[in-house]
C-alpha cells in the first residue's frame, strides 16, 4: 500500500495514468494558488472575489497537508528511509520535503491573533508553493543541481565582481565628489556601480565630470563581460546536465524493455 501511494505522489512511469492525474492535479492547484496570490493584489478582483480566494486557500491547505502527510507516511517503502522514525526524519529534511512543509506553513498561524501586516507577509509565503513544481519539471531540478555543483566557481566569480564594484565605486566617488552631489559617499556610488555593471542604467545617478564619464563608459563595457562569465558557465553546465539525464533515461527505458543498448 505504501509503495502504491508513494508511486502516485512521486512522478514515475510505474504510476500509470492515475499517477499522471494526481501529478497534473497538484500542478494545477499550485498554479491556481500562484494566480490567486497575484490577482488578490488587484483591488477590484481581490475585493469582489475574496470569498472564492479564501475557499481556494482552504482547499489548497487541505490538499497540500494530506499530500505532505501521505509522503511522510509512505516514504518508508524506500530503502533509504526504511526506519520508521529516523527514516522519516531523514526524509523530512530533504529540500523538497521542506518545500512541502513551507507550502502548508500558513496553516500553523491560523487561529493566532496576528496583525494585518504580518498576515499579508504570511500569505505571500504561498508563492513558495511554486517551488513544488521542481518535483515535476526536470529543468528546475537540473538548474538546482547545476548551481550546487558550480557553487565554488560562482562564489569566486561573485567575489571578483564584488571587488570590481568596490574599486569602481571608490574611484567614481573620488572623481565626482565635491562636484556631483549624487556621489555623496561610497555607498551612494555603489548604487551607481550596481546599475552600471549590470548594464541596467537607471539614470538616477550619473557622472557629470569628463573624467567620470570616461571612467563610467569603461565600467559599463566591463560589466558586459563580467556578467557574461557566470551566464556562460551556468548555460554550458545546464546543457551538459540535461544531456546526461536524457541519456540516463534512455538507458533505463531500454533496460526496462529488456532490449539493452542497440548495436551501431
Do 83 and 174 belong together in one domain? no
As a whole number, mean pLDDT of residues 245-253 equals 77
**Domain presence at residue 218:** yes
Chain segment 171-195, per-residue pLDDT in tens: 999 999 989 999 999 999 999 999 9
Residue 60 CA: distances (Å) to CA of 25, 33, 83, 123, 161: 11, 8, 30, 13, 42
Residue 192: inside a domain? yes
Q: Is the pLDDT of residue 223 over 60?
A: yes
pLDDT at 263: 44
Q: Is residue 193 part of a domain?
A: yes
Which pLDDT band, with edges at 50, 70 and 90, does 110 fall under? low
CATH number, domain of 218, equals 1.10.287.70
pLDDT band at 109 (very low <50, low <70, confident <90, very high): low
CB 178 within 8 A of CB 185: no
The pLDDT value given to residue 180:
93
Residues 222, 174 share a domain: yes
- The count of other CB atoms within 10 Å of the CB of residue 134 is 17
Q: Do 6 and 104 reside in the same domain of the chain? A: yes
Could you tell me if residue 144 is inside a domain? no
pLDDT of 226? 84
Tens-place pLDDT, residues 44-61: 888 888 888 888 888 888
Of 136, 168, 198, the position where a domain reaches its end is 136
| CATH code at position 44 | 1.20.120.350
In Å, the largest CA–CA distance within the chain is: 78
- pLDDT (0 to 100) of residue 26: 86
Residue 262 maps to a domain: no
Question: What angle is formed at CA 77 by the lines to CA 103 and CA 28, rounded to 5 degrees?
Answer: 35
- Whether 65 and 24 share a structural domain: yes
So what's the pLDDT on residue 264? Answer: 42
Model confidence pLDDT, tens digit, residues 137-170: 766 777 777 888 888 888 898 899 999 999 999 9
Query: Does residue 108 carry a pLDDT above 60?
Result: no
Judge whether residue 33 has pLDDT over 90: no
Tell whether 166 and 102 lie within a shared domain.
Answer: no
Selection from 38-42, 88-92, 188-192 with the highest mean pLDDT: 188-192
pLDDT in the model for residue 121: 53
Amino acid at each position: 500500500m505504501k509503495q502504491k501511494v508513494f508511486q502516485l505522489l512521486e512522478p514515475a512511469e510505474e504510476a500509470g495514468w492515475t499517477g499522471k492525474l494526481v501529478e497534473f492535479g497538484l500542478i494545477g492547484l499550485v498554479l491556481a494558488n500562484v494566480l490567486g496570490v497575484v490577482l488578490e493584489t488587484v483591488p477590484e478582483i481581490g475585493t469582489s472575489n475574496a470569498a472564492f480566494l479564501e475557499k481556494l486557500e482552504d482547499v489548497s491547505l487541505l490538499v497540500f497537508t494530506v499530500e505532505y502527510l501521505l509522503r511522510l507516511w509512505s516514504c518508508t517503502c524506500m530503502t533509504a528511509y526504511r526506519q520508521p522514525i529516523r527514516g522519516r526524519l531523514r526524509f523530512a529534511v530533504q529540500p523538497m520535503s521542506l518545500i512541502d512543509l513551507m507550502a502548508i506553513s500558513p496553516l500553523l498561524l491560523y487561529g493566532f491573533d496576528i496583525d494585518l501586516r504580518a498576515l499579508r507577509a504570511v500569505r505571500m509565503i504561498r508563492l513558495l508553493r511554486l517551488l513544488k513544481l521542481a518535483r515535476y519539471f526536470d529543468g528546475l531540478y537540473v538548474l538546482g543541481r547545476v548551481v550546487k555543483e558550480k557553487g565554488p566557481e560562482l562564489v569566486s566569480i561573485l567575489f571578483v565582481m564584488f571587488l570590481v564594484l568596490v574599486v569602481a565605486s571608490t574611484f567614481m566617488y573620488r572623481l565626482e565628489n565635491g562636484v556631483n552631489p549624487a556621489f555623496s559617499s561610497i555607498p551612494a556610488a555603489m548604487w551607481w556601480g550596481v546599475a552600471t555593471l549590470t548594464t541596467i542604467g537607471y539614470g538616477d545617478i550619473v557622472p557629470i565630470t569628463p573624467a567620470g564619464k570616461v571612467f563610467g563608459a569603461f565600467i559599463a563595457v566591463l560589466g558586459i563581460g563580467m556578467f557574461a562569465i557566470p551566464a556562460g558557465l551556468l548555460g554550458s553546465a545546464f546543457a551538459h546536465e540535461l544531456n546526461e539525464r536524457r541519456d540516463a533515461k534512455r538507458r533505463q527505458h531500454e533496460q526496462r524493455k529488456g532490449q539493452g543498448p542497440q548495436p551501431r
